[in-house]
Structure 1
């Protein structure tokens, strides 16, 4: 299993992963987010990304106002920069979006430790599923994503899991 605690594995990945690594390092994105325990999540680490996939990062903050102030000072100059406050499954969430070097970055931030956030748990579980089910399963996930399906719903469809895919898939954590 890959070590997703840092982005070093991207250096040995496919072309997109290598490019993302260079951007995150050369533009100092990870360095600027360092105190918020950033993790790369989503489809790119799993090599199930499509042409329209975002670069998804998660962070953990302690103080809402100081986090927004810090992030704004570091990234407000980026193209299409925006910050959104919302509640995701009852938890206050700050989402930062901007474009950088031809990619759209989304930084999803909560007070929950990054390794306990749903996106990170999905990443770990989905890698195990992909390893267990093989290349054909992976290709079917990519096909579903190419027609517009999100990652967790695609996994649940192929695994015949009903209900809210973002929660129901996590029930497999104990079994895989």
Structure 2
């Protein structure tokens, strides 16, 4: 699920525009060896104005990835690249603006289908399908400044101290992942 961005062509206006931008910038083809997957709010239709396009990838050779991304995208507006540690895992993040979208390329040495961004999206998508009122409640909280996972936790009554972990655990407990 979500292994191709073709579903965006049949989506809402923002999803169709995002599809065009992603195709034009060429990430899915240019960085195909890293198994890029679009994650986050836009694929599941809970994006709000200003939501970015998060593209996760499996990256083991950070220096090679940095050079490729720099060669391909450093000419774009607000380009920046950094390396950080998130939950004891090294990460390379590149951000830039293109066609009205902020892109975030997120690489870590883990298969994309095991990365938290992908797992969160799958859990959120399933929850939205199971609980009809959830989409509007989450979008409302996001419009008031909540990040996505904290919004889900608030609506579902989950522990908000670490909403990212709470959502993963919830998904595992009810067999969504």
Tell me the CA shift for residue 41 of structure 1.
0.5
**2: distance between equivalents of 1:78 and 1:130?**
35
TM-score normalised to structure 2 length:
0.95
Partner of 1:143: 140
**Which residue of structure 2 aligns with residue 76 of structure 1?**
74
Secondary structure, aligned partner of 1:112: coil
What corresponds to 1:157 in structure 2?
154
Matched residue, 1:66: 64
**Unaligned runs of at least 5 residues, structure 2:** none
Q: Which whole-Å deviations, capped at 9, do the CAs of 1:31-74 have from their partners, x for residues lacking one?
A: 11211100000110111111110111111112111111111111
Choose between structure 1 and 2: higher helix proportion: 1
- Dislocated runs of 4+, deviation >4 Å: none
Q: CA RMSD in A?
A: 0.9
Aligned to 2:16: 18
Unaligned runs of 5+ in 1: none
TM-score by length of 1: 0.95
2: CA distance between counterparts of 1:27 and 1:39?
Answer: 15
Q: How far has the Cα of 1:172 moved from its partner? A: 2.2
Q: Distance in 1 between matches of 2:171 and 2:147?
A: 20
Deviation at 1:21, TM superposition (A): 0.7
